[in-house]
């Protein structure tokens, strides 16, 4: 594995290859990230991973400050997975990279867009740079951040970028909780509390209750357990709009807080 910190250097390297996969991360890697890297390794001759904690996508400075950082362990994980190139740029290396004018897709004002003002603009700003620095043929994104995945895919299509978005299933812990770098900030007790929220909603959905019962019951459960939440929505994955009925084309999305740590999930 080769570690590269300069944008020009890695850009010259990737342009020599055709069969390339790219896994963008913010570091503090876990089994979910590993599954994305493994998938890229099976589908491409060369796999590129970036670790860049993008301050532009944090609408809360405190959230940025406490975001877990474990760069030595991240490098070790990438080496063990036989990543071909690991990109570790500075803020300056990413944002001084000049790109041609790109269009940003329209984003429906719901869920993360509604509750995290400026978040997706920050995501698109860094994706615009990274996909220009690292013009891979495939980009690997996890379904836990499904709204982000859809927006990045729309951005790629709108700008006719020659890069395929590969959706990767959410990797879950044994307790059913979606793996997230933020989970590392929670105690075992707090993680157990979070996992019970997910188990509760999945149980209701499995019993094929109607949407109204699921939403009302979930809100009551959260209130009874003193758990703050931003939203619980049933979303049509094709149109990415709120839908009043559960079908095989919808998922329930939730954002809630455990010990002031914000967690999101969908199922």
pLDDT: which is higher, 62 or 120: 120
pLDDT, tens digit (0-9, with 9 covering 90-100), for 1-27: 999 999 999 999 999 999 999 999 999
The conformation of residue 179, written as its DSSP 8-state character, comes to: P
> How large a percentage of the chain has pLDDT more than 70?
100
What tokens does 261 get?
A: 């740590």
Note the pLDDT of residue 260: 93
The Cα 81–Cα 163 span in angstroms is: 23
Note the pLDDT of residue 262: 96
Q: What is the mean pLDDT of residues 83-99?
A: 98
Question: Directed axis angle between helix 188-206 and helix 211-224, to 10°?
Answer: 160
Note the pLDDT of residue 209: 85
Angle at 145 between CA 89 and CA 84, to 5 degrees: 40
pLDDT, tens digit (0-9, with 9 covering 90-100), for 130-180: 999 999 999 999 999 999 999 999 999 999 999 999 999 999 999 999 999
Burial letters 48-72, b for 16+ CB under 10 A, else e = bbbbbbbebbbbeeeeeeebeeeee
Task: Enter the pTM of the model.
Answer: 0.96
Note the pLDDT of residue 2: 98
The pLDDT confidence band at residue 101, using thresholds 50, 70 and 90, is confident
The Cα 175–Cα 191 span in angstroms is: 9
Q: Determine if residue 27 is left, alpha or beta; phi over 0 gives left, psi from -120 to 50 gives alpha, anything else beta.
A: left
Q: Count Cα neighbours of 251 within 13 Å in the Cβ-side half-sphere.
A: 16
The pLDDT confidence band at residue 50, using thresholds 50, 70 and 90, is very high
Instruction: Report the CATH fold assignment for 2-168.
Output: Rossmann fold (3.40.50)
What tokens does 194 get?
A: 């979070």
**Of the ranges 51-65, 116-130, 150-164, which one carries the lowest mean pLDDT score?**
51-65
Active site residue 119: no
Say if residue 60's pLDDT is above 90.
no
Q: Domain coordinates of the chain in residue numbers?
A: 2-168, 186-260
């Amino acid at each position: 594995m080769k570690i590269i910190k300069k944008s020009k250097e890695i850009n010259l390297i990737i342009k020599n290859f055709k069969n390339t996969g790219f896994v963008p991360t913010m570091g503090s890697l876990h089994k979910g990230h590993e599954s994305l890297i493994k998938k890229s390794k099976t589908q491409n001759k060369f796999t590129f991973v970036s670790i860049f904690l993008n301050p532009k996508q944090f609408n809360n400075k405190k959230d940025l400050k406490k975001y877990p950082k474990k760069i030595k362990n991240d490098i070790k994980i990438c080496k063990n997975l036989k990543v071909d190139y690991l990109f570790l740029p500075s803020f300056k290396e990413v944002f001084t990279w000049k790109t041609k004018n790109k269009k940003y897709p329209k984003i429906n004002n719901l869920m993360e867009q509604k509750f995290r003002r400026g978040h997706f603009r920050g995501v698109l700003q860094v994706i615009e740079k990274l996909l220009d620095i690292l013009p891979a043929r495939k980009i690997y994104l996890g379904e836990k951040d499904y709204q982000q995945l859809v927006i990045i895919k729309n951005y790629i299509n709108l700008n006719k970028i020659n890069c395929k978005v590969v959706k990767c299933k959410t990797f879950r812990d044994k307790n059913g909780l979606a793996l997230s770098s933020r989970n590392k900030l929670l105690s075992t007790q707090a993680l157990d509390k979070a996992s019970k929220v997910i188990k509760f909603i999945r149980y209701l959905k499995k019993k094929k209750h109607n949407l109204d019962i699921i939403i009302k019951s979930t809100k009551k459960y959260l209130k009874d357990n003193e758990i703050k939440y931003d939203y619980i929505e049933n979303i049509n994955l094709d149109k990415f709009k709120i839908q009043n009925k559960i079908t095989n084309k919808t998922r329930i999305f939730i954002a809630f807080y455990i010990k002031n740590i914000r967690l999101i999930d969908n199922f």
